[in-house]
Structure 1
Amino acid sequence: MADRWRLPLLALLGLAMLAPYIWMVSASLKATDELFRASLSLLPETGTAWMENYGRVWREVPVAQYLLNGVIVCGGILAFQLLFAVPAGYALAKLRFPGREWVFGAVMLGLLVPPHVPALPLYVAFSQLGWLNSYAALIIPSTISVFAIFLFRQFFKSLPDELIQAARLDGMGEGAIVWRVALPNAWPAATAFAIFSVVAHWNDLFWPLIVLTGTDYATPALGVLHFRTEEAGDDFAALMAACTIMTAPLVLAFLFAQRRFVEGIATTGLKG
């Protein structure tokens, strides 16, 4: 009986999670006056309102620049995070060295520190270095992810020790083992973390709002805010169109990598 109702229940919960996004897309297709009517309808009454909404966004906002900034910032952050997290996770999982458990404990404590805590000293440091309003200011604070270190450490714990020993017998050094043996076997975990990382930094508004004062380096989330304050005014239909454009790459990326994402979450166990 429980199995019989599991799929409908999951479908209902999934629909509830998608409801805000569905409503956002629906609102982007309507004229502004339709949004404030008492009747509820997902389909627009006129078939041309969406052209005006999306056309206004592309005319009045440098959408391509915002999307490009998002790709550069998220791609740079992800590359550095993997560069540091993969060797660190491997070392904590497969190498024996004094203080290993203390280092892992520090990583766990790092998970408890919210990103707002170091924001002020980081801002002062970047201001003194003259790095405000730059890609460096957006990328550097997030280059080391304690969550990524924890995730890869848990995944590498599940790798057979015999695989590592065989690589050592073949004459491979630890660095080669990390990138040529461990990482290729950890692509599910890497894909899962990549989705977490890209979604978090693509939608991040807190840090870009602090270190950026113009629109040249604005990320998609900050670009939507600029459109709301400078261009959209009370045109909420156009604002929903801007939000749809900025979030569409995330949806497409998740649909493309969803199998790897689920596999990575399922196979990354909580091993001691």
Structure 2
Amino acid sequence: MDERRSWLADAPRLLLLAALGLLVLAPYVWMVSASLKPLDELFRASLALWPERFFAVENYGKVFARVPVFQYIWNGIVVCAGILAFQLLFAVPAGYALAKLRFPGRDIAFGAVMLGLLVPPHVPALPLYVGFSQLGMLNTYAALILPFTISVFAIFLFRQFFKALPDELIHAARLDGMSEAGIVWRVVLPNAWPAATAFAIFSVVAHWNDLFWPLIVVEGPSRATPALGVLFFRSDEAGDDFAALMAAAVIMTAPLVLAFLFAQRRFVEGIATTGLKG
């Protein structure tokens, strides 16, 4: 009886969450549906998710025949992995220092991090472009990776997570003779995998879908990221063939969906356990 009463009490909340989930998923579901239809079915007055004629082979075949899909995906993997590796390399020690070490100016440094969260990425775009242009580094992986190697959001996230770690764990490691660097990488980071996984998903999704910066520094398909590759396909190959364009978008976003499904438990755990303590 108590279980039934509990289920009835939770039913409104579950229905609301289900409705919001469907609302968020609706554009992606429509995109997948459109990629399976012939072009003439996309512009009918009636909206039907299930196609009358399956056109998946033709739509996806156009994408693989006209676009270097695997080149775009590989570029996205290289860029996102490079950015994430550098972000973790800098953010984990910085977050640990702000959370567990006492040094002059710590509060000022943390205030600078908070101010950095307010700066849009578009603000430094022009000076960064000029600098890379003068160094001859446009249309390279370095130009795509280097501007994002330090993430103030990552520093803030890890600082909040490390604040919740018990100080006794740090003291025990110091008594064992570990250096601060050893504590960071051998003690603190293994306990921070939920936060690292949550941040990794945020970072990869943001930079996989980023169009603004690649559109500035990349010319041609050789270093194009997935989002830019879809734009090239829209401009040069697909034209007004929106069904094929939807197929290209599905292909480029599929790795993100698979990665999230693989890491969703860690992601939820990281969000739930990352405190917001001062």
Short-chain TM bin: over 0.9
Counterpart for residue 45 of structure 1:
52
Determine which of 117, 139, 143 is the counterpart of 1:137.
143
CA distance in 2, matches of 1:190, 1:69: 23
Determine which of 220, 223, 231 is the counterpart of 1:225.
231
**Deviation by residue 1:61-103 (Cα, 9 ceiling, x = unmatched):** 0000000000000000000000000000000000000000000
Counterpart for residue 153 of structure 1:
159
- Structure 1 regions of 5+ residues with no counterpart? none
Displacement after TM superposition at 1:2 (Å)? 5.0
CA distance in 2, matches of 1:256, 1:182: 24
Please state whether the residue corresponding to 2:221 is helix, strand or coil: coil
Counterpart for residue 18 of structure 2:
11
Counterpart for residue 202 of structure 1:
208
RMSD: 0.7
CA distance in 2, matches of 1:121, 1:238: 37
Displacement after TM superposition at 1:46 (Å)? 1.2
2:28 is aligned with what amino acid?
A: Y
Q: 5 Å matches for 1:1-272? A: 2-47=9-54, 49-272=55-278
CA distance in 1, matches of 2:15, 2:256: 26
Displacement after TM superposition at 1:9 (Å)? 1.0
CA distance in 2, matches of 1:92, 1:127: 35
CA distance in 2, matches of 1:144, 1:252: 26
1:17 is aligned with what amino acid?
A: V
2:272 is aligned with what amino acid?
A: A
CA distance in 1, matches of 2:61, 2:257: 21
CA distance in 2, matches of 1:6, 1:270: 25
Q: Normalising by the residue count of structure 1, what TM-score does the alignment of the two structures yield?
A: 0.99
**Deviation by residue 1:78-130 (Cα, 9 ceiling, x = unmatched):** 00000000000000000000000000000000000000000000000000000
CA distance in 1, matches of 2:212, 2:241: 24
CA distance in 1, matches of 2:95, 2:147: 20
1:83 is aligned with what amino acid?
A: L
**Deviation by residue 1:4-43 (Cα, 9 ceiling, x = unmatched):** 2111110111000000000000000000000001111111
Number of aligned pairs?
271
Please state whether the residue corresponding to 1:216 is helix, strand or coil: helix
Percentage of pairs with the same residue: 81
CA distance in 2, matches of 1:226, 1:3: 47
2:136 is aligned with what amino acid?
A: G
CA distance in 2, matches of 1:16, 1:133: 38
**Deviation by residue 1:238-265 (Cα, 9 ceiling, x = unmatched):** 0000000000000000000000000000
**Deviation by residue 1:189-240 (Cα, 9 ceiling, x = unmatched):** 0000000000000000000000011110000000000000000001000000
CA distance in 1, matches of 2:98, 2:91: 10
**Deviation by residue 1:156-211 (Cα, 9 ceiling, x = unmatched):** 00000000000000000000000000000000000000000000000000000000
CA distance in 1, matches of 2:51, 2:11: 36
- Give the ranges of 4+ consecutive aligned residues of structure 1 lying more than 3 Å apart after TM superposition: none
CA distance in 1, matches of 2:175, 2:207: 41
